[in-house]
A and B are shown apart, each in its own frame.
Chain A
Amino acid sequence: MSFGGASGNTKVFKPTPPDRGSFPLDHDGECKIQMQIYLDCLRSSRSRERVPADCRLLAKEYLNCRMERGLMLKDNWVNLGLPDDKRNSSTDSPESKS
């Protein structure tokens, strides 16, 4: 892969493991509905661009579903970059730009 490549400056790519490990598989499709809603939102947002930022709350719903079913470790939303439950804004969190 890097044979004969430029020496010195090339950075060799090393796949790194995910920060919190692997998602347990959702064998029973328990959160499938939330996933579908999220994907629909993604497809509908801004025609060509798919902006997950517009669908953050739905992503939050999906991850919430996973946490409730034990498919993900519970954590604060702020650690996951998602808006807290206290904020009632529709799809924007104060930090992100729309």
Chain B
Amino acid sequence: MPRILVSRIRSHLLSAGRHVQQCRYALGSLRCISTSPNSGTEPPTFSDPPQPAQLNTPASRIHSKGHLARRMKELGITAGDLQREHVRREQLKNRTSGYYALSLLIGTLALSYAAVPFYRLLCQKTGYAGTPIVESATITADRLIPVDSNRKITVRFESDVSRSLPWKFEPLQRQVTVTPGETALAFFKATNLSNQDIIGVATYNVTPDQVAPYFSKIQCFCFEQQQLRAGEQVDMPIFFFIDPDFDTDPQMKHIHEVVLNYTFFKAKTNASGQYLTVPDAAGNEIAGQVPITVSSAGA
């Protein structure tokens, strides 16, 4: 058996009956090289650190701290055990980092889904990017104090009716002059020209667009279904004001006229939620479809 030079080792064992392994702990891993296998005749024994005379013997190439070998011997740990343990630890590390990566992926996915309502909430609270701040609390009385300046704004009223809605809809006053912070009452009149009960829904538009955040309605007739019986005529009030902050906004300095346009559409569903039939452009009745209105000046 040629003499095998054993380099400095931190931990290893000789497992008699199995391969003689020379293990070196380097670069953070335990590397073991098998040398020529033993014949297997020797019973498994753990020998003491060899005396110099035994260095040539095949099965006892040990160069370790004696007490470590003894300790391992006491606990019954072999070099193979160490290697398996090491491999197991590596696997555990890999698995852990795999779990981390997976949780990171899932976390990113969840965050991207949550971003949409979160962003909407943020915009509502801070009015970022022009979102009108619609607070759930009612308009407080301190906003309803007219400003003390000479500022007067003319509010003109326009009305439109969808083509499929046989109503006559017009404002009862062409314009009003208001001061920011001052509440104003205005009226529209709607007449059902047909011989059926019809439900309509109104929406509104404020021009110029920059005024929209300042235009506050305390109460009006929009966004809710309003039913008119056949041939009925009804007065519809709106109670609104222009926010006092309008006066101090430098961008609004040149604005003296505001156009408020209300448009009535035919409702898609009746009060109990059933879809109503609506005539399309050709006059055929199609369930649940509302044709796009063509905005024309005047009622």
Contacts and interface: CB of A to CB of B under 8 A. Distances in A.
B218 A80 contact: yes
Interface residues of B, number: 58
B193 interface: no
B116 to A, nearest CB: 17
B39 to A, nearest CB: 85
Given A20-B219, A22-B221, A78-B141, A42 B173 contact: yes
B146 A96 contact: yes
Given A18-B217, A27-B234, A53 B173 contact: no
A79 B239 CA distance: 12
Nearest to B234: A25
A3 interface: no
Contact of B239 (A13, A27, A42, A63): A63
Interface residues of A, number: 42
Contacts of B172: 39
Contact of B236 (A12, A23, A42): A23
20 contacts: A12-B130, A13-B205, A13-B209, A15-B203, A16-B132, A17-B223, A18-B223, A25-B234, A25-B236, A26-B235, A50-B177, A51-B177, A52-B182, A59-B184, A59-B185, A62-B237, A79-B138, A79-B140, A81-B181, A81-B182
Interface of B: 129-132, 134, 138-141, 144-146, 148, 152, 154, 172-173, 175-179, 181-187, 203-206, 209-210, 212-213, 216-224, 226-229, 232, 234-239, 241
Interface of A: 10-23, 25-27, 29, 32, 35, 38-39, 42-43, 49-53, 59, 62-63, 72, 76, 78-82, 95-97
